[in-house]
Amino acid sequence: MRAFQVTDHAIAPSLQDVPDPHPNPGEVLVRVHACGLNFADILVAKGTYQDIPPLPATLGMELAGEVVSLGEGVTTRAVGDRVAVNAGHGGLAEFGAFVVDTTVPLPDAMPFTDAAAFMVAYGTSHLGLTRRARLQKGERLVVLGAAGGVGLTAVEIGAALGAEVVAVARGADKLAVAKDAGAHHLIDSETTDLREALKELGGADVVYDPVGGDLTVAAIRACNPEARVLIIGFASGDLPKIAANHLLVKNIDVIGYYWGAYRAFAPQVLSDSLSELLQWYSEGRLTPHVSKTFPLEQAGDAMDFLKSRKSTGKVVVTME
């Protein structure tokens, strides 16, 4: 089969011909139909992510497909089941063997492209906003990188939870996408002083931050007393320098948050969150935004497109 793999962190990943996988006990073999890309895939390829699989490694943290065979002892899935998989890696391939507990059954009406764009982005935002940031109805939620893969879902989920959502993104086109997802206020980070714009709105109660750098610092300086700043990642490539005295004076919480870690220490928390999100999807409350799809043979181009920051929402690679 074909798989898009990292063979050396010093060189670009590439499409490889590899042996077909077979499920071990407790695993299912999935024919992959679609794989969603995440910024973390770029970091895995470079060897700078916090969770690096041994080489050679097939990229692709989340995927959707059809179960084609069962490993010994598997009773919770059946051949023919349509599933999404939160695998950590292995999605950019025609087939993959995955631990059954990483699979989630899909609603019948959910296309594979939507499913492949769903788990990481929506899961990150839902659990982060509800469990870690403790977002309350009526609070002002500031979303940095609001048109990106996770940022756009934070806008959508924040609005669904009753927050007043402030979308921060670069350029009118990206802000228009955030507005369509439910943002109440729009701030162009390329042309606007973020701190002053947030202060004019009344300050931030919760900051959702997958960007880092100067935007983090500016958002913290516009925080209200007892605000919570949720640190998701550093897409800017710049770790923010946070002044502890600002946190002290305003009783601000800065909260570290790595969604993938829940797979190891609290998997039921992930499962419960994803079950609720899939119910919301079935009710029409969530609409995944896929800006572009690529075939597997163009997976490298898909990664470059994601790195270019031209995408909004998710980029998905399909196997057909």
Q: Domain-by-domain residue ranges, the chain?
A: 2-118+288-318, 121-260
Contact of 223 with 250, CB cutoff 8 Å: yes
CB crowding 43-67: b at 16 or more within 10 Å, else e: bbbeeebeebeeeebbbbbbbbbbb
- Closest residue by Cα to residue 91 from 56, 148, 41: 41
Q: What is the pLDDT of residues 36-48, one digit of tens each?
A: 999 889 999 999 8
| Helices 267-282 and 119-127, packing angle to 10 deg | 110
Assign 235 a pLDDT band (cuts: 50, 70, 90): confident
- Classify domain 121-260 at the CATH topology level: Rossmann fold (3.40.50)
Q: Give residue 309's pLDDT.
A: 78
Sheet strands side by side (includes 57-58): 14-17, 2-6, 57-58
pLDDT confidence bin for 225, thresholds 50/70/90? very high
The pLDDT tens digits of the residues spanning 101-116 come to: 889 999 999 999 999 9
Distances (CA, A) of 186 to 172, 180, 260, 288: 9, 11, 29, 20
How many other C-beta atoms can be found within 10 angstroms of the C-beta atom of residue 118? 26
Residue 186 tokens, joined: 């729009």
C-beta separation of 251 from 150 below 8 A: no
Q: For residue 268, what pLDDT is reported?
A: 87
* Calpha distance 163→183 (Å, rounded): 10
pLDDT of residue 28 exceeding 90, the answer is: yes
Q: Dihedral angle at the C-alpha atoms of 66, 71, 72, 76, nearest 10 degrees?
A: -30
pLDDT classification of 313: cutoffs 50, 70, 90:
confident
The answer on pLDDT for 87 being more than 90 is no
Which tens digit of pLDDT belongs to each residue from 240-259?
999 999 999 999 999 999 99
* E strand intervals along the chain: 2-6, 14-17, 27-36, 57-58, 62-70, 82-86, 95-99, 103-105, 140-144, 164-169, 185-188, 204-209, 223-231, 253-256, 290-295, 314-318
What tens digit of pLDDT does each residue of 193-206 get? 999 999 999 999 99
> What CATH number belongs to 2-118+288-318?
3.90.180.10
Res. 311 pLDDT band, cuts 50 70 90:
confident
